[in-house]
Every structure is written in structure tokens, then in C-alpha cells.
Amino acid sequence: MRGPESGNAGRLSAELPSPVPPHPLDARITADRARKYRQVLARRTVRLAVVIEDSYDPHNATAIIRTCDACGVHRVVVTTARNGFKVNDKVSQGVHRYMDLRVLPDIDAAAALLKPQGYRFFVTDLAAGATVGPQALQPALDAGPVALVFGNEGHGISDRARALADGFFLLPMSGFSQSLNLSVSVAMTLQALRGPAVAADQPGDLPAAEQIATYDRWIRAYCGEDVGGPVAKPAQDRFGTAVEEFRA
């Protein structure tokens, strides 16, 4: 299981406490990799999740995954009712294998997964009364788990996603264009909500039991064991570039 060996994961400025105990397979990986696994998990959040509805562009999908990893967002849910979720492994640097990536058939399945866990759905939309600016969602995030729901590149969110929404938000713009690339929208939203915590190198909120279970999955996968999870099929983007396609 390939993963990033350098970058921010190699420059974590503080040694945060980790609940992950010594693992039987620690001897089969480098001490530096074991530390990175523990330190990345110590900074991950599940209070904020990202839901992507039917994205079809591999460049956006890959950029979204990298942005979520960079911002410490552990849980990413993708729905594939109309389109497979395609990730360029070389561009993603393998980080999609280090996310809690859930591939579901539709937005109803996403709601059935997340809402019983207390997540409120905030959907990107130009609806009347939408919260202006993602930073204005901070009070909602302080009050409980939030799932940010983004539609696809061509049609935006579905009517069903609107019906499931607990609230709406939009990114304010002052230029001629009144829309942004999907991956840019995700990046700006996560930077607004997660940027201060990441900049301050604050601990995350991933429960200890989940950190331990995730560490076990990562290290066993890296050592070549089958750990389950979503299985990607080889595919190509519109330029003929090899990608991995996830579909429920």
C-alpha cells in the first residue's frame, strides 16, 4: 500500500499524544512511517465530513481527496448513482487509501449512513436564505457533526439532496463568474473551516478506538494483507490516462 513519504506528514511540528499502542507489524515498517501514521491520525477529524454527489471528473475527484487529507478530514462519502468516482493514483500520491472513503449508491444511502451518527447536512446551493460564506457554518460545527454536501460538475446537487438538507451555504463571489470548479469549492470551504486548526497544529477528534482500528488497517494493507474496503477498478479518463474508478 503506497503512501506519501514526504510533505507535511514529514514536517509535523509537534509530537501529539497517540492512543495507538505498539503493533505486531511495526517491525515490518520504518519507524518514520509508524510515527507518521500515528501523528496523522492524531490530527484527523470526523466532526466534519465531506459528501460528493456523482462527480465525474477525475481531476476534481483526485484534488478533493488530497484536499481532505491536507485538511485532516477523515471521512469522505462519494455517491455513484450516475458516475463512478475516478481517482488518479499518481496525482493523489496514494492518499485515497488513507481516508475513510465510503462509496455509496446514492444520496439517500449517504444520509442513512451519516444522519444516525448525528451529522447535519449542509448543502452547497444558491437557495434563498443560504448561509453566505462557509466560515459562517462554524457555529453549527461547534454544536455537532457536519457533513458538507457538494454536487457534481455539470448539474450541481440533486433535488433529493436539497430535500435532505438541514441547511444551505454558498461561497460569495464578486467577479463576473458566479460558479467555481468543484474541487476549488471544496478546498475553499475546508480551508475556511479547518484552516485555523491545521495552522495551529491542533489535535483532531478521531476517537481512540477508531485511531487504533485505522492504524491496524493501514499497516496491514501496507504489508500486503487484504483489509477489505472499497475496491477500485482500472479505468481511463477522457484523455486516456489510467485512473482508479470506485462505484457502489
Residue 244's pLDDT is what?
93
Domains by residue range for the chain, with CATH: 1-44+208-225 (no CATH), 45-205 (3.40.1280.10)
Q: What is the DSSP letter of 248?
A: -
Q: How far apart are CA 57 and CA 76, in angstroms?
A: 16
Q: How far apart are CA 61 and CA 55, in angstroms?
A: 7
Q: What is the mean pLDDT of each run of 10 residues along the chain (248 residues)?
A: 51 85 97 97 98 91 94 96 89 92 96 98 84 91 97 89 94 80 94 96 97 97 92 87 92
Residue 3's pLDDT is what?
56
At a CB cut-off of 8 Å and minimum separation 6, what does 6 contact?
A: none
Residue 127's pLDDT is what?
72
